[in-house]
Amino acid sequence: MNDGSTSGELADSLRTLLSRLSPGDRLPSSRELIKEYRVGPATVARAIAALAAEGAVVTRPGSGTYVAQRARLRGGATDTDWQTVALTDRAVDTHLIADPLGPPPAGTITMDGGYMHRSLQPTRALSAALARAARRPDAWDRAPAGGLMALRTVFAQIVGGSVAPEDVLVTAGGQSALSIAFRAIAGPGSPVLVESPSYPRALAAARAAGLRPVPVPLDADGVRPDLLADAFAMTGARLLYCQPTFQNPTSTVLAPERRGQILDVARASGAFVIEDDFARHLGHGGAVPRPLVADDRDGTVIHVTSLTKPAAPSLRIGALVARGPVMERMRAVRLVDDFFVTRPLQEAALEVLSSPAWDRHVRSLGTALRERCAVLAAAVTQEIPGATLATLPTGGLHLWLRLPPGVDDTVLTSAARQRGVAVSAGSRYFATEPPAAHLRIGFAATADHAELTEGARRLGAALADLGPQQG
């Protein structure tokens, strides 16, 4: 090859060389290529750059050029097997939150979701709030990393007690808040105590952070303080995740006498309590207990709240409430993650929460949820007489149904889908083996009362389809 050879010709020659080498083999040095092919340094550099852009080689400054682990030469299919080794064993487990049956077909009555039907959402108020927010001169300016001070003030007022705006960190919804808290508080491999059953997306977030969920049983009054103390002692955990108000999936409310006991146990163990208060605005018309953080004086509680459930799925605005160094740690995590929550959405949330329409919406929503809950409970009792409702909820979006002995919840869930109704298998809500078969059945995502009744009928028919061995 003479001095007039182009970098393209050299690249072609090197491709022939690559076909005889194995992934990881080192190519001749630039000096050796210059000498062998009688070209200049610039020609070699351009040829190597072209091969690197194709993914055929990898350059390592100070070391040399190597055959890529996946030879993605012209016209060939990409081989990504190398990624299995590179990614090691840090897989993100989504089996508890992914639907194994896939999207339901058209006409399916949806009773497995965690969001409200559009008819229950304050869509007109949300649209008006977003329009007003977008018209503000500073709507597209950078938002403070901790969130708009006015919005933090509103969240502090909702929580109550001695919580101040400085104790609030605005997040992109409740799930983002949980992820931030889990990663900020405990290191990979650490245990985290969770109610049993518990919220699957929280279990998934904990595992994605490298934590080990350890279940603590619930009863009709919420998590048991005696078993909680045993779990802290046995595991050395420094973190409890719980939903004290209208727990998902059981709708249990932590009894008044236990609320202080839970905090006492956590303090004695030197542990934090993540209080997921997702259902603060989902009461069915009665009194809603004060959040644990409102009575926390020493920074034990990290409070999580969100507007997504009571408003709409895409109002991804939530908040973390905490005091002390743990808040500084969480602020640092969120700063690294995504810097800040988009300002127009924060402004829209502030518009919604500051409007009299929000209080009217919460009151009307409570009435609608209470009526739907009663309709579905009556229909389930009639259509599935062998099943047992743990409690008639006074808040939240779901019924927790214990199935008759011998029924497999995953089999029934699949059969129900065939009958045109989607419900959630109870086994998804347990960090370990479930003690019995359950279903979580939602009453907020359907169009009306008639769909609730029809959904219960279809569920009963699905159970009958399984025959005596399942019924």
138 and 230 together in one domain = yes
pLDDT at 305 (0 to 100): 96
Each residue of 425-442: pLDDT tens digit? 999 999 888 899 999 999
Is 103 within the bounds of a domain?
A: no
| Rounded (5°) CA angle 98-118-352 | 105
Query: What CATH number should be reported for the domain holding residue 64?
Result: 1.10.10.10
Cα separations in angstroms, 417 against 101, 107, 176, 240, 443 = 8, 11, 30, 35, 17
Q: Does 71 or 223 have the greater pLDDT score?
A: 223
Q: Which of 120, 58, 72 lies closest to 362, judged by CA?
A: 120
What SS3 state is found at 315? coil
The share of the chain scoring above pLDDT 90, in percent, equals: 72
Each residue of 40-82: pLDDT tens digit? 888 888 899 888 888 888 888 778 898 987 644 455 556 676 6
193 and 66 together in one domain = no
Q: Domain span at residue 20?
A: 7-86
* Mean predicted confidence (pLDDT) in 349-362: 94
User: Of 333, 355, 377, which residue sits at a domain end?
Assistant: 355
Each residue of 394-420: pLDDT tens digit? 999 999 999 999 999 999 999 999 999
Is 98 within the bounds of a domain?
A: no
Q: Is 34 exposed, middle or buried (0-12, 13-18, 19+ CB in 10 A)?
A: middle
Which of the 8 DSSP states describes residue 347? H
What tokens does 346 get? 């924060």
Is 388 within the bounds of a domain?
A: yes
Task: Return all residues near 320 (Cβ < 8 A) that are at least 6 apart.
Answer: 168, 169, 171, 177, 180, 181, 302, 303, 304, 327, 330
pLDDT at 115 (0 to 100): 92
What tokens does 363 get? 């009151």
Distance CA 79, CA 454 (A): 50
22 and 153 together in one domain = no
Q: Are 56 and 43 in contact (CB under 8 A)?
A: no
Query: What CATH number should be reported for the domain holding residue 198?
Result: 3.40.640.10
Give the pLDDT band (50/70/90) at residue 4: very low
367 and 332 together in one domain = no
Which of the 8 DSSP states describes residue 270? T
Q: Which ranges of 137-282 would DSSP assign to H, the alpha helix?
A: 149-159, 174-185, 200-208, 225-235, 256-268
Is 195 within the bounds of a domain?
A: yes
pLDDT at 40 (0 to 100): 86
Is 393 within the bounds of a domain?
A: yes
363 and 351 together in one domain = no
User: Of 311, 336, 355, which residue sits at a domain end?
Assistant: 355
Identity at 110, one-letter amino acid code:
T
Q: Which ranges of 388-442 would DSSP assign to H, the alpha helix?
A: 409-418
Cis preceding-peptide flag for 197 (omega within 30 of 0)? yes
Name the one residue in this structure whose structure tokens are 């006015």: 150
Q: Is 226 exposed, middle or buried (0-12, 13-18, 19+ CB in 10 A)?
A: exposed
pLDDT at 73 (0 to 100): 46
78 and 146 together in one domain = no
Judged by phi (left if over 0) then psi (alpha if -120 to 50, else beta), residue 251 lies in: left
Name the one residue in this structure whose structure tokens are 């960090």: 431
* Mean predicted confidence (pLDDT) in 174-201: 95
Q: Are 344 and 316 in contact (CB under 8 A)?
A: no
End-to-end CA distance of the chain: 81
Is 471 within the bounds of a domain?
A: no
Is 101 within the bounds of a domain?
A: no
212 and 335 together in one domain = yes
Strands of 191-196's sheet in order across: 168-171, 318-321, 301-306, 272-276, 239-242, 191-196, 212-219, 222-223
In total, how many domains does the chain have?
3
pLDDT at 3 (0 to 100): 44
243 and 343 together in one domain = yes
Is 349 within the bounds of a domain?
A: yes
Question: Would the pLDDT of 113 be above 80?
Answer: yes
pLDDT at 215 (0 to 100): 96
pLDDT at 91 (0 to 100): 67
Task: Return all residues near 448 (Cβ < 8 A) that are at least 6 apart.
Answer: 119
82 and 113 together in one domain = no
Long-range Cβ contact pairs of 264-269 (< 8 A, separation 24 or more): 265/225, 265/228, 265/229, 265/232, 266/232, 266/240, 266/300, 267/298, 267/300, 268/229, 268/232, 269/229, 269/232, 269/233, 269/237, 269/238
Give the pLDDT band (50/70/90) at residue 2: very low
Identity at 394, one-letter amino acid code:
T
Q: Are 26 and 64 in contact (CB under 8 A)?
A: yes
323 and 365 together in one domain = no
Identity at 150, one-letter amino acid code:
A
pLDDT at 71 (0 to 100): 47
DSSP notation for 446-470: SSSHHHHHHHHHHHHHHHHHT-TTT
Average pLDDT, the chain: 90
What tokens does 379 get? 């229909």
Helix axes 123-134, 343-353, angle to 10 degrees: 130
Task: Return all residues near 402 (Cβ < 8 A) that are at least 6 apart.
Answer: 387, 388, 389, 390, 436, 437, 438
Query: What CATH number should be reported for the domain holding residue 440?
Result: 3.90.1150.10
344 and 380 together in one domain = no
State residue 217 phi and psi, 5-degree precision: -65, 150
Distance CA 461, CA 423 (A): 14
250 and 190 together in one domain = yes
Cα separations in angstroms, 231 against 3, 15, 250 = 76, 61, 21
What tokens does 225 get? 């303080």
